Every structure is written in structure tokens, then in C-alpha cells.
Amino acid sequence: MAFLGWYHAKEQPEKIEFSTLQRLKSIERGEDTEGDFTPSKDDGKNNISTQLTSTDIEFLSTFIDKTYLDEPSITTIRQRFEDESSVLLRHFLNEDWSKKILYACTSMDEEQKLGRRQGVIDYSVGMNSHWEAVGPAHKQRFLEYVGTPNQKSEDPGSLLLYLKQTLLESPAFGRLLQSFTSLPRHIGYRGRVRRFRPGFDYTVAHYGILTKSCVLDATLCFVKGAGNQCQYDSDTEELIGTDDDAMWDSGDFGGFEVYIAADDGDKGSTKEAEDEYNDEDDTELLSVSASFNSLSLVYRDPGTMRFVKYVGSGAPGSRWDIAIEYEMDEDIDTD
């Protein structure tokens, strides 16, 4: 038996009157939770060529596993993305960066006794001047890193913000995305460094996250585990893999990201809203399991919503990620 609802505070949350299905389906002003797009950085090459240069490769290889910079791998990824409009790239960062981030994330979870149902319920855990809680609670709750970037820091937020600003927002990475996807260049981006604490955090699908144009979602995810693909044993009906990888891949502990189709009819229908939050409804388009050091690329049209499933207290640890949306230049014909 289970109670489902927003029973996650000692006192009644502010603006609880907005916690309705009708409100989640509203596209009125003030319902957006994502913010504005920042114009993309331009190094003078974006209007000349989409091909990766030797300088690009040299720069990207300081962060990314070299496997993903080989032309045969890029071709395979591009074919997969063109067929399915999404792709998951495991072990994306190189060993130096992945080890550094794993140590920082694991150390902070252990220090704060988060994961595997340890510790006590304290909704301020992990919050400080660098990690701020993001709401409103009826749409989302997670911690966002608002400190300074530092590649030598032991705070995972500082490391991830450095990667966001130095790598994921760079023109070279933009050209790599074009090589991976065959999509036009992006003209803007918006994103956050997020932490979803086990037993506390989630996002909810709502119409305020719908975009006016198509975007490319790039989410670089880190969780406790090896980040390996789990296999399914048909005899035992169990996942094969390390305990942590299998736990995340099972979906039983949340932390996975789900894409669902928004209803394109009457935005005020309670039944339609209920269907969108029904686990057995067929509006689910894609589910991406949380996995250590994995980059998911998903092409999302204006009629698609996404959310991160509530991370259960029994999860191995927090879900940490850099979630960026790239705004496409739709004036360019990619045919």
C-alpha cells in the first residue's frame, strides 16, 4: 500500500492552491520553470563549417573519451540518432574526469548519509550557499549549484559547472553535436547543474516546460555505479550487472527521465491530465535510466514533456546531472 501526493513538509507549502491538474496543464505566463535561452557562443567557425577540426578534437579529447571522437563511432551514433531521434552514450567523459566526479559525488553522499535508506528525514540536507533548492514543490524539487566553477574542486557542483561552461557550452561541442545528430547548429541554450537527493527530489511533467520550437536535450548524468549496460537473464528474470547499475536500470528506485506526449486538445480536461500521469498510459515516448557518466541526446518537439522520476530513499545515492536544452536554428534546411 502507498500514499501518493505531496506530503513532504512539516508545514503546508506556500501556494498549495496551485497544486492542481488544471494548473499543471496551464501555459499561462509565469508557469514556465526553465528560464530564457542564452545566445550560443560563436568562435567565428559556426557559420563556415560544421566539421570538427583538429583543434576541436584536441580540445574535446581533454574531456571526452576518444572513442566518441573517432569518425566511425560518430557515423554509428549519427545513424542511430537519425533512426530514433535519441541516443545514450555511456562512459562519455574520459577516465580522468569520470574518476574525479565519481569520487566527489560519492564522498558528498556518504558524508551526508544519503542513499540506501540511511540517515534521517531532513529536507535541508545538502543545501548551502552554493546549492539552492528549486521549486515550486508542485512542479519540481531539486538542488541547483549556483557557486563558482573549479576543475580542481572536491564539490561535485563546482566540477559539473566547470564542465557545463567550458565543454557543453563551447562552439567545438556544438559542432560535435551536429556531427552526432545531423541537426542544424544551435542558436541558444539553457541549463542547470542539478542534484536529485534520494528520498527528496523530483520533477513533474507540466505544460510550462513545453517549448515553442524543437530543442535538443543533452543530459550528462552521474550516479553511483559503473555505468555499464545491464543485461536481462530470461531464466532468473533478473537484471545482470553490478548491484548499483542494476538498481538504477530497474527503475524501482526512480531517478530515470521520462518523455511523454502532451495532449494537443483541450488543455482544461481533467481526464486528459490524469491520463498523462497514469503509469499505464501509452503517452510515454521514451524512458532514459540514470547511469554513471552517460550522455543522453533527445530531440524534443514542442508537444513533448519530460520529467525526472522521484528518487527513492533506497536508491544507491543522488542523481547528479548537467541538463541543457539547445535551441535549434530552424531557418537552416538540413535536408
70-105 pLDDT tens trace: 999 999 999 999 999 999 999 999 999 999 999 999
Quick: pLDDT tens for 27-37.
777 788 888 99
Asked whether 194 and 188 are in contact (CB, 8 A), the reply is no
Give mean pLDDT, residues 233-243.
Answer: 72
Query: Is residue 152 classed exposed, middle or buried when 0-12, 13-18 and 19+ CB atoms within 10 A define those classes?
Result: exposed
Count of H helices and E strands in the chain? 8, 14
Quick: pLDDT tens for 142-197.
999 999 999 999 999 999 999 999 999 999 999 999 999 999 989 999 999 999 99
How confident is residue 134, by pLDDT bands cut at 50, 70 and 90? very high
Kindly report the CA angle at 260 between 186 and 142, in degrees rounded to 5? 75
Task: Give CA–CA dist 322/191, Å, rounded.
Answer: 7
Asked whether 172 and 52 are in contact (CB, 8 A), the reply is yes
- Burial letters for 29-38: b for 16+ Cβ neighbours within 10 Å, e otherwise? eebeeeeebe
How confident is residue 276, by pLDDT bands cut at 50, 70 and 90? very low
- Burial letters for 163-180: b for 16+ Cβ neighbours within 10 Å, e otherwise? bbeebbbbbbbbbbbbbb
How confident is residue 216, by pLDDT bands cut at 50, 70 and 90? very high
Domains of the chain: 88-166+190-328 (3.60.130.20)
Mean pLDDT of the chain: 87
The residue behind cell 530531440 is 299
What DSSP line would sit under 48-116, residue for residue? T--SPPHHHHHHHTTTB-GGGGSHHHHHHHHHHHHHHSEEEEES-B-HHHHHHHHHHHHHHHHHTT-ST
Peptide bond into 302 cis (omega under 30): no
- Measuring CA to CA, which residue among 56, 66, 63, 55 is closest to residue 151? 63
Does residue 208 or residue 335 have the better pLDDT?
208
Supply 149's cell numbers: 566553477
The model scores a pTM over 0.95 = no
Asked whether 23 and 138 are in contact (CB, 8 A), the reply is yes
- Measuring CA to CA, which residue among 106, 94, 108 is closest to residue 225? 106
How confident is residue 236, by pLDDT bands cut at 50, 70 and 90? confident
Contacts of 258 (CB under 8 A, 6+ apart): 205, 284, 286, 287, 288, 306, 307, 308, 309
